[in-house]
Amino acid sequence: MRKPIIPVPDIKLDSIYKLKPEFLLEAGISLLVLDLDNTLAPYSHPIPNAQLRSWVDGMKEAGVELFILSNNHGSRPERFANELCLDYLDRARKPSAKKLLQVLREKGISPEKAAIIGDQIYTDVICGKRAGVLTIIVKPIELTNPLLAIRYGLEIPFRLIKKRK
């Protein structure tokens, strides 16, 4: 019988820009897995902006490896990853941890040395919990989709449990 997953993130931040490479490295994290949509950029932005490029460059320069793991498919994940010079997997089917565990195996990284950051409890956080990695939740960049707004509303109790860092 599978152990139940408690969908409470380990860390809660306002945005990815609050996450510093020094924090990750001090925590022993060498790989940060990134959700794309509404975490790195709004759905409506086809390419990364200058602030995101700078943040990615800072992480890489500090020695944190980055990887995009997206439920999205088509040209968007590939284009974003290429623009940022990052590896990626699309069609991840989060909250399944199968693709995340595949990434860890391929990179030879144990779950204790990895973290996932995303904007959704029911996809990103549960995926990370299932894989045994550090989970970081951020506020969604925009809430223009009514169905996503309802979903985020259902996540509020789990978001409130973890204090903001």
Residues 76-107 pLDDT 10s:
999 999 999 999 999 999 999 999 999 999 99
CB-based burial label for 142 (10 Å; 0-12, 13-18, 19+)? middle
Task: Identify the pLDDT of residue 148.
Answer: 62
| CB-CB contact of 116 with 69 (8 Å) | yes
Task: Identify the pLDDT of residue 84.
Answer: 98
Q: What is the mean pLDDT of residues 118-147?
A: 90
Domain count, the chain: 1
40 domain-assigned: yes
Confidence of residue 163 (pLDDT cuts 50, 70, 90): low
What is the domain range of residue 132? Answer: 11-161
Q: Can you give the pTM of this predicted structure?
A: 0.87
Strand order across the 31-34 sheet: 11-13, 134-138, 114-118, 31-34, 65-69, 87-89
Measured CA to CA, the distance from residue 159 to residue 7 in angstroms comes to 9
Task: Identify the pLDDT of residue 49.
Answer: 97
Measured CA to CA, the distance from residue 66 to residue 88 in angstroms comes to 9
4 domain-assigned: no
Confidence of residue 151 (pLDDT cuts 50, 70, 90): low
For residue 107, give the CATH number of its domain.
Answer: 3.40.50.1000
Task: Identify the pLDDT of residue 7.
Answer: 86
Measured CA to CA, the distance from residue 146 to residue 94 in angstroms comes to 20
38 domain-assigned: yes
Residues of the chain above pLDDT 70, percent:
85
Confidence of residue 43 (pLDDT cuts 50, 70, 90): confident
Measured CA to CA, the distance from residue 120 to residue 138 in angstroms comes to 8
